[in-house]
């Protein structure tokens, strides 16, 4: 519903601005430019979608091997100690704990097809424990904030889009995204725990979050000691090594579980083609709307206005061109994806803005969509502090993404 209003607004605002330009400025080129944009962007969307097929098939095949090899279960067991502390209202040993672990673990691996059913199952089980059926319980809110903060270990789709858009090193945003999504998730946990009066000073949480924060701080400090050329080489090499290790680990996990890894790969790879075809209409719709919006001059007006405000406050405004992706992400995943692709198309996949838009895309998740789907599935209408905590986590992710982008690519 939100994306519907945004999509309509793009066209109406673009038409009004173009009409004003025509009537008051005598700009007879604006409407032809808008129509040319509709055809060119729809063609671009189609070409991008088909170009994604190969890489999507590769990664979905690898992910299917990991899924059947029990990697999700392993991650769930690793996460178990800290999650018990973050969900104190859930009775010990309740089945919902397993569903929550599995959902978060699947999200971390980018297994959206597995994560969503597990998440809906977890919400149904949490609703069984909920004494006020129309009101979100504390465990429900913590669970959703962990989902909306977007903690992802392998941002597959973003790297796929970067490859398709001609990036020299599609994986160079891998570590920056890991760092930005960590801060988003950490902020979500802190804000939600504050609302729910969860003690974050207990030994398990301090060791887990403190240890993770120390690792992240060490990474940031280490990269801060390097010049930009060395930083880019180390970051890209580390990302590629990590990704190759993940592939090998998934294959070994499949072998250990006596999975036919070849058949599992083929099963997952088949989804690559259907996924690429499935996103064509969505990508065409959002890219055409953005293209018309940009061709009318509305996008430039918006960006110039924000840039002027930032510069008037004495700030560096290099990041402003990527902000549309950050602003769209809480509302719509496909909308934000369109903004990311548009940024890479307009400024270049390897430009600062192109890379930052990718980090924005990977640092958080679609807050309002997740809240609507998950709460709607169990009939919860009173969300309490879920929206506030989710948006605060998003804001932390955006701020972290900007800072990290300047560190790595500024």
| H/E stretch holding 161 | helix 156-164
What is the reported pLDDT for 266?
A: 92
Nearest residue to 165 via CA among 337, 399, 386, 381: 337
How far is it, in rounded angstroms, from Cα 110 to Cα 78? Answer: 17
Mean pLDDT is lowest, of 114-123, 192-201, 399-408, for: 114-123
Task: Summarize pLDDT for 43-58 with one digit per residue, the tens.
Answer: 888 887 777 677 778 8
Contact in structure between 339 and 291 (CB atoms under 8 Å): no
Alpha-carbon distance values, 188 to 183, 211, 232, 236, 276 (Å): 8, 17, 29, 28, 32
Tell me what the mean pLDDT of segment 73-95 comes to: 78
Backbone angles phi and psi of 201, in degrees to 5: -95, 10
Nearest CA-CA partner of 333 in 292, 362, 374: 362
pLDDT of residue 32: 93
User: d(Cα 175, Cα 319) in Å, to the nearest integer?
Assistant: 19
Minimum mean pLDDT among 188-192, 233-237, 324-328, 378-382: which range?
233-237
pLDDT value at position 285? 83
Q: Is the pLDDT of residue 5 over 90?
A: no
Kindly tell me if the per-residue pLDDT of 1 is higher than 60.
no
Task: Specify the pLDDT at position 111.
Answer: 59
> What pLDDT is recorded for position 240?
78
Residue range 147-163, pLDDT digits in tens: 888 777 777 778 878 88
What is the per-residue pLDDT across 323-340, written as a single tens digit (0 to 9) for each? 889 988 887 777 788 889
> Residue 112: its pLDDT value, please?
58
- Residue with the bigger pLDDT between 327 and 95: it is 327
Beta carbons of 7 and 290 less than 8 angstroms apart: no
Q: What is the pLDDT of residues 219-271, one digit of tens each?
A: 888 877 877 677 777 877 877 787 788 789 889 999 999 999 999 999 888 87
In angstroms, rounded to a whole number, what is the distance separating the alpha carbons of residues 390 and 147? 9
Most confident of 74-88, 217-231, 285-299, 394-408: 394-408
Mean pLDDT, the chain, rounded, equals 84
Please give the Cα distance from 213 to 400 (Å, whole number): 13
What pLDDT does 3 receive? 54
- The answer to whether 164 and 204 have CB atoms below 8 angstroms apart is no
Quote the percentage of the chain above a pLDDT of 90: 23
pLDDT at 24 over 60: yes
Q: What's the pTM value of the predicted model, to 2 decimals?
A: 0.77
pLDDT at 404: 93
pLDDT at 406: 92
Looking at per-residue pLDDT, the higher value among 79 and 204 belongs to 204
Under the banding of pLDDT at 50, 70 and 90, the label for residue 109 is low
Q: What average pLDDT does range 292-311 have in this prediction?
A: 86
Which of 187, 200, 173 is closest to 82 using CA atoms? 200
């Amino acid at each position: 519903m939100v994306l519907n209003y945004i999509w309509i607004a793009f066209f109406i605002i673009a038409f009004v601005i173009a009409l004003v330009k025509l009537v008051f400025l005598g700009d007879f080129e604006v409407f032809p430019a808008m129509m040319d944009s509709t055809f060119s962007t729809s063609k671009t969307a189609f070409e991008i979608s088909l170009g994604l097929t190969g890489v999507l098939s590769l990664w979905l095949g690898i992910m299917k091997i990991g899924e059947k090899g029990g990697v999700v279960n392993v991650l769930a067991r690793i996460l178990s100690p800290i999650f018990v502390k973050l969900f104190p209202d859930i009775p010990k040993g309740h089945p919902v704990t397993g569903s929550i672990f599995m959902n978060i673990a699947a999200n971390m691996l980018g297994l959206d097809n597995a994560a969503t059913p597990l998440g809906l199952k977890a919400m149904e089980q949490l609703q069984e424990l909920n004494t006020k059926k129309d009101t979100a319980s504390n465990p429900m809110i913590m669970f959703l904030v962990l989902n909306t903060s977007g903690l992802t270990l392998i941002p597959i789709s973003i790297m796929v889009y970067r490859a398709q858009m001609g990036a020299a090193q599609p994986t160079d945003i891998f570590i920056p995204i890991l760092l930005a999504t960590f801060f988003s998730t950490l902020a979500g946990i802190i804000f939600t725990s504050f609302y729910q009066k969860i003690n974050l000073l207990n030994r398990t949480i301090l060791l887990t979050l403190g240890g993770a924060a120390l690792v992240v701080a060490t990474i940031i400090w280490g990269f801060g000691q390097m010049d930009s050329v060395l930083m880019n080489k180390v970051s890209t090499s580390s990302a590629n090594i990590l990704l190759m290790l993940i592939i090998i680990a998934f294959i070994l996990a499949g072998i250990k579980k006596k999975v036919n890894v070849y058949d599992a790969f083929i099963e997952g790879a088949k989804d690559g083609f259907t996924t690429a075809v499935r996103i064509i209409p969505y990508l065409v719709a959002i890219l055409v709307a953005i293209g018309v919006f940009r061709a009318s001059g509305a996008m430039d007006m918006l960006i110039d206005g924000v840039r002027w405000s930032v510069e008037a406050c004495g700030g560096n405004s290099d990041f402003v061109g990527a902000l549309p992706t950050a602003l769209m992400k809480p509302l719509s995943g496909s909308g934000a994806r369109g903004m990311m692709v548009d940024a890479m198309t307009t400024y270049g996949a390897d430009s600062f803005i192109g890379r930052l838009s990718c980090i924005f895309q990977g640092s958080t998740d679609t807050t309002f969509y997740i809240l609507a789907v998950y709460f709607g599935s169990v009939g919860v209408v009173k969300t309490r502090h879920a929206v506030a905590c989710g948006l605060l986590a998003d804001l932390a992710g955006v701020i972290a993404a900007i800072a990290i982008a300047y560190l790595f690519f500024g």
